[in-house]
A and B are shown apart, each in its own frame.
Chain A
C-alpha cells in the first residue's frame, strides 16, 4: 500500500449508554483508508456505519482505541483542535445537504474559509472556483431554496472541497436524490477521487456502492467484509433524460 494511511483506526470502540443498556456501536474496529481510496461503507441501520463516520469525521470520540488522521493522533485532542481538524483536513457532505438557509450558495461555500480566517478576496475567489468545479458557476448567488436537491448537494460538495481537505466524508449523499442526480453526484465524487482525494461515503444502496473502489460492510459494530473492486464509471450521459415536468 502506498504511503501513510489517511485514516487509521486501531481497536476503536464506541459505546453508548442508554439507561442501563450499553450499546456497542463500534466494537474494536481496525480500519485503514489509503490515499486514492473511494470507499463505500455499507450496512443495515444500527450496524455502526454512522458512528464510524462520526468518529472518522472527528464529530465523535472513540470510547477506547486510537484514531490517527493523516498521521495525527486525534483521540486526545481538545474541542478547539478537533474543530481545526474538521476545518482543514475533512470535508463533510450530508444526506440532507445541511446548507444554511437564506444564505447564498457562495456564502455557504465560504463558511469553512471564514472559520479558517482566509481573507475576504481570496475566500470569494476560492469559493467561486469550487462552485465552478461542481458546475454551479451560474447559480452562485441563489439561495438554497431556489436550487434543486441535486444542486443543493453540489453546493454542499463545493463547501466540502473548498478548504482543500485530505478526506471527503459523505453520509448517504444520494439518499435524498433521484437516481439521475445520484449518478451526477457520484460522477462528481469519482472526479474528486481521480484528482487524488480520499472519499468515504456511507450508503445502504448497492447501486451506489458499485461506484466505489473499495466496499466495507459493517454489522453489529464490526467490519464484516472489506472488498476491493473495479468501480463502475458514473456517467450521467448513460441515463435517460429527465422527464419533462
Chain B
C-alpha cells in the first residue's frame, strides 16, 4: 500500500469514531495549546523586561558614593561624599577606551512654578552627555550645551510629565520661563516620552539643569564632592571591563587599602537586566514543562485509545492479514492513525494556543508567538504520536492471523 492509501484508510477509521477521535486528541490539544500560550506569555514578559531596561540606557553603569556613618547610623549607598569632581574628570580622561560618556547626576526636588500653576518634581543637575547615556532625545528644542555648563546658565530641560502639568498637553514649552526656588529658568528642551522604569517609576517626571547651575542655585554653592552619582555609558561590549577599570582607578585615587572595601559602588544595569530576564525565562521554562507534561498525558491517551482500537478491530486485522496485508502494512496503518490523531491535536492546539495568547494580550499581558516554538510544538506532537502509537501498532502487526480471525 502506498502512503496516500494508508492515510486514507487511517482517516476513514478515525472518521468512524468522530467523537472518540476528537476526545482522544484533546490531551494533545491542551498540551500543545498550553505550550504555545505559556511560551508566548514567557517571551512577552521577557521582551517587556528587555525593552524597559533598554529604555534606561544601553551599557549603563552607575557609580554611587559609599555610605556615611553618622552617630552609629549607617546611611546606605549614596549617603557619603566620596566621589569628587576630579574622580569624574579622571574617568573621562583616563578611561577613554572603555568609557564612552560619563556624566554627574545631582539630585534634588523642588517645586517648579509656571505662570499659572506649579508642580513638585525631581530636579537633576547634569551635563549634556547624560542624555546620550540615557539615550533620551528631545522631542522639542534641544538639551543644554557645554557653554550653558560653563556659564552656569539658568536653562532647564523638562520631562514630558512635568511639561504637561505646567503647560497642558501638547503645548510646546520651549522658550517659556519657569521658576525653580524662585529663580527663573528658560525652558530649552522637552524630552521625548520615555515611559516607566522596570520598577514603575515615571522617567518623564523630572527636570534637568546644568550641574553648575544646580550647584550654585539649588544646592547652595559648589562643593568638592559630587552629591549624587556618576552615570557611565560603557563602550559596546566593554561593560565589565569598564567596571573593572573604574573600580581600579577609584580605589587608586581614594588610596583604598588593598584589603579594604570600596568606598563607592558600581551598579551594572546589564546584570540587573539579565537577572530579571533569567527569572522571566525560568518562569517560561517552568510553564512550558508543565505544558509538556500535559502533552505527555495526551500521548498516553492516544496510546490507550489505540490499544482499544486494536482490540476492537482484531478481526479486521485478521481479515486484512488473510488477504495479503504484511505485518508492516498493519503496523503502518495503526501508526498513521496514531500520528493523524496527534497531529490533528497539535494543529487544534496551535489554534487554541494562539487564541489563548490573543486573550492574554487583550487582558494586558504581553505575548510573543515565535514560529519556531509553534514548529517545535507540532514536531513534538508528531513525535508523541509515533512514540505512543508504536506499541499498539506493533501489537496489531504481531497478531496471529488465525487467532485474529477467530476473535469475536
Interface, chain A (partner B; CB < 8 A): 54, 57, 59-60, 79-80, 83-84, 86-88, 92, 94, 98-100, 102, 111-112, 114-117, 159, 163
Contact = CB atoms under 8 A, between A and B. Distances in A.
A86 B1 contact: no
A100 to B, nearest CB: 6
13 contacts: A80-B326, A80-B327, A83-B321, A84-B324, A84-B326, A86-B321, A87-B323, A98-B315, A98-B322, A111-B323, A114-B1, A114-B5, A115-B324
A79 B327 contact: yes
B239 to A, nearest CB: 66
Nearest to A102: B16
A59 B402 contact: yes
Contact of A115 (B315, B316, B326, B405): B326
Contacts of A116: 324
B327 A59 contact: no
Interface of B: 1-2, 5, 16, 315-316, 318-329, 401-402, 405
Given A57-B322, A83-B326, 4 more contacts: A80-B327, A80-B328, A86-B321, A117-B2
Contacts of B402: 54, 59-60
Secondary structure at the B interface, as helix, strand, loop or mixed, is helix
A100 B326 contact: no
A59 B350 CA distance: 46
Nearest to B16: A102
B19 to A, nearest CB: 16
A98 B325 contact: no
A94 B322 CA distance: 10
A111 B320 contact: yes
Contact of B323 (A54, A79, A102, A112): A112
Nearest to B397: A79
B405 A94 contact: yes
A72 to B, nearest CB: 16
A100 B401 contact: no
A83 B2 contact: no
A80 B319 CA distance: 16
A92 B320 contact: no
A94 B315 CA distance: 12
Contacts of B2: 117
Contact of A159 (B323, B401, B405): B323
